[in-house]
Amino acid sequence: MKKGSSAFFGLILVVVGLFFLLPQLFPSMEGMLHLGRNWPYLLVGLGGLFILAGLAATPPLAIPGSIIAGIGGILAYQNASGDWASWAFAWALIPGFVGVGMILMGLRSRELRHALRQGGTLLLTSLIMFFIFGAFFQGMGDVGRYWPAVLIVAGVWMLVKERAGKR
């Protein structure tokens, strides 16, 4: 195990310990830190810690951090709104979270250009899937009728990209 990774996991233990200790020391904070209502924010915070560790010392940690924080964000929205059915299309954002992590990891490496290209492709693909599935499952009003146009645009983009790559 790397020297910095034990410090990272030590930081996680301190933050989790504070999360559970603060309501005991300050009962007025119990409503704000109530685990039954705010549990998705634990995932967002844990993902944020991974991202910080990735930016500070171990760049590959940015990828799982982005995934954890992103899923935590989705679950926070669903928990607050009660829109649990949105998972039928919200899962399509997960590859985009990987793309964000790759871009963040690229900020700390010499291969930023490669990370932007690969991460950006994942992010764009993820957003396209999100809108297509969202339109299909939620019927996004008038936009929902035109989701096949998104498929056409994505297909044309892939064809142009392939043709440009052969030159």
Residue-level pLDDT, tens digit, the chain, 167 residues: 455 567 777 777 887 788 778 777 887 776 666 666 778 988 998 899 899 888 888 889 999 999 999 999 999 999 999 989 889 899 999 999 999 999 999 988 888 888 888 998 999 899 888 888 887 777 666 556 676 777 788 788 778 877 776 66
Domain that holds residue 142: 3-166
Q: Is 163 helix (H, G, I), strand (E, B) or coil?
A: helix
**Could you tell me if 34 and 87 are in contact, meaning their C-beta atoms sit under 8 angstroms apart?**
no
CA distances 118 to 2, 75, 103, 107, Å, are: 27, 26, 8, 13
Structure confidence at residue 158 (pLDDT): 78
Q: How far apart are the first and last CA of the chain?
A: 45
Match 């590959």 to its residue by tokens: 60
Domain count, the chain: 1
DSSP E strands: which ranges in 101-163? none
Between CA 41 and CA 68 the distance in angstroms is: 10
Structure confidence at residue 66 (pLDDT): 96
